[in-house]
Structure 1
Amino acid sequence: MGRNLRFWLGAPRTAPFDPGDTPLALGALLLRAQRSDFPEIIGGIVPLEAVLARRYDLTTAEAAEMREACERVEAAAPPGPWFAELLHEVIDPAQRQAMALSLLEAVEAQTPQPDLLRPHVDLMAQTVLGVCPEDLASARQAG
């Protein structure tokens, strides 16, 4: 799981991105955010597995297995913000928006005062997933 995505990350401009790799790519992106800029959200308040399970309708075991695959992808990903920028170019905005909405819903389910964290989730959705707060709010109202 993730072998093709890891290969693609080695030379992304030489081959097209496989849309089937979107779940792993987005999971790896959130894992990168957990390890760098947003540990208080992912891992602190809500485990990555909870977001993955919510987004892809996974069992706890399936989400844990997916996280392991995301860890392998994240380890092969380029350092710094280039990874997020690259994925923003190749992943459908609707997929990124759906992941941001799953993140928001998972945070809301895990904390008694989600409104206090909303600015942090909005910032994470924008900087990590490339989803502006207005689009996240629209997706929430539509969903």
Structure 2
Amino acid sequence: MLERLFPRRTPDPKPLPQPNAQLALGALLVRVALANREYVVSEVAQIDRILAATFDLKPLEAAKLRATCEALERHAPGTPEFAVILRDEIDYAHRKALADAMWSVALADGKRDDAEETQLFAIETALGLSEADITCARQKALSRKSGL
């Protein structure tokens, strides 16, 4: 009875942080993994490995960063806005390396998926990568996959 008169208030959700290069990269990695509407453990693990290696984080820190990036990906701007952050803060050579990392997430589940590849192409284009570098990243990733 009292519950109807005085319903519990849910706390306001924590505000999301402003995207920086670290968060933008993580959110784009999550976006690639979610492109096919499946988010499997192998993709999550690959994202954690990339974040840990890229930003010199311990596994738990990388997992916490990924969790923040997941929330940011759901509620934040589109791919072009994240790409602008990365273009402003990361040189071309490192953006090429990001494309390789994103391909490793897309292929972490062992399958090629058109939705993930379409999302990857959009991200690579938004990052300002040349067609030749985009093609090279795809070929490199697919050759690694077939070599496994």
Alignment TM class, shorter chain as reference: 0.5 to 0.7
Between structure 1 and structure 2, the one with the greater Rg is: 2
CA deviations over 1:38-85 (Å, ceiling 9, x no partner):
334xx247323413413541543232111112133224413xxxx112
Structure-1 separation of matches of 2:81 and 2:105 = 25
Please tell me the root mean square deviation across aligned C-alpha atoms, in Å.
3.5
TM, length-normalised to structure 2: 0.53
2:84 aligned with 1:86:
no
Comparing 100-109 with 132-141, greater Cα deviation is found at: 132-141
Residue 3 of structure 1: aligned partner: 17
Identity in percent:
23
Residue 144 of structure 2: aligned partner: none
Q: 1:44–1:91: structure 2 CA closer, same or farther, 3 Å change rule? A: same
Q: 1:125–1:24: structure 2 CA closer, same or farther, 3 Å change rule? A: same
Structure-1 separation of matches of 2:74 and 2:105 = 25
Q: For this pair of structures, how many residues does the alignment match?
A: 114
Structure-1 separation of matches of 2:22 and 2:103 = 17
Task: Report the AA paired with residue 79 of structure 2.
Answer: A
TM, length-normalised to structure 1: 0.55
Q: How does 1:1-143 map to 2 (within 5 A)?
A: 3-5=17-19, 21-35=20-34, 37-40=35-38, 43-44=39-40, 46-54=42-50, 56-57=52-53, 58-78=57-77, 83-92=78-87, 93-106=92-105, 108=107, 110-111=109-110, 117=112, 121-130=116-125, 134-138=132-136, 140=140
Structure-2 separation of matches of 1:126 and 1:138 = 12
Which runs of no fewer than 5 residues in structure 1 stay unpaired?
A: 6-20
Comparing 63-72 with 53-62, greater Cα deviation is found at: 53-62
- Work out whether residues 29 and 105 of structure 2, in 8 Å CA contact, stay in contact via their aligned partners in 1: no
Task: Report the AA paired with residue 85 of structure 2.
Answer: V
Structure-1 separation of matches of 2:71 and 2:108 = 28
Which runs of no fewer than 5 residues in structure 2 stay unpaired?
A: 1-15, 142-148
